[in-house]
Amino acid sequence: MNRLLVLLLLLMAGLGACKKSADPLVQYKIQAGIDDKIISDYVAAHPEDSAKRIDTSGVYYIVKTGEGGAGNDLFTSSTTITVGFTGQILTTGYTFAQTSNFHPSYTLGSVIRGWQLGIPEIKKGGKVRLLVPSRYAYGPYAQDSIHLPANSVLDFNIQLYNITN
């Protein structure tokens, strides 16, 4: 009887291990792998863009020749940036945010992490394209007000109009 009970418990434990993990760290790592593959496949398919990776973050930036801006700007989390931008989902091309004649200002420390890493790659007047994995944007949180699904890999075209420290 005890052997049957032990066998039944082992069987249940084995079947329980087959379930999808609910561990947030495991889910984060799985999504990070998915995002990194999406971006690296895109970069490989578009070598003419000369995308560069920022450290080990998974965020890539593209600065067109002659569009990096000018000056010797210092960026901190309290730097105010004035920008014009278009934000799209990389995989679908859906535009979820766009400025036109209005150029909003943000404190660099208050924007998504992908912007915090990528905007310092240019100077005042510069233009940059950022490819941002979901973990450096909105992660597993959908942004319903702008119709942005959870875990979206984002593509931003940003022009930096002004920097204030």
* CATH code of the domain in which 32 resides: 3.10.50.40
Q: From start to end of the chain, where are the E strands?
A: 52-53, 60-62, 80-89, 95-98, 105-107, 127-132, 154-164
Position 1 pLDDT exceeds 70: no
- How many structural domains is the chain composed of? 1
Q: Are the C-beta atoms of residues 86 and 157 closer than 8 Å to each other?
A: yes
Q: Is residue 53 part of a domain?
A: yes
What's the pTM value of the predicted model, to 2 decimals? 0.84
Q: Is residue 10 part of a domain?
A: no
Q: Is residue 43 part of a domain?
A: yes
If one compares 20 and 142, the residue with the highest pLDDT of the two is 142
pLDDT band at 22 (very low <50, low <70, confident <90, very high): confident
Q: Is residue 106 part of a domain?
A: yes
Q: Is residue 61 part of a domain?
A: yes
Range of the domain at 114: 23-164
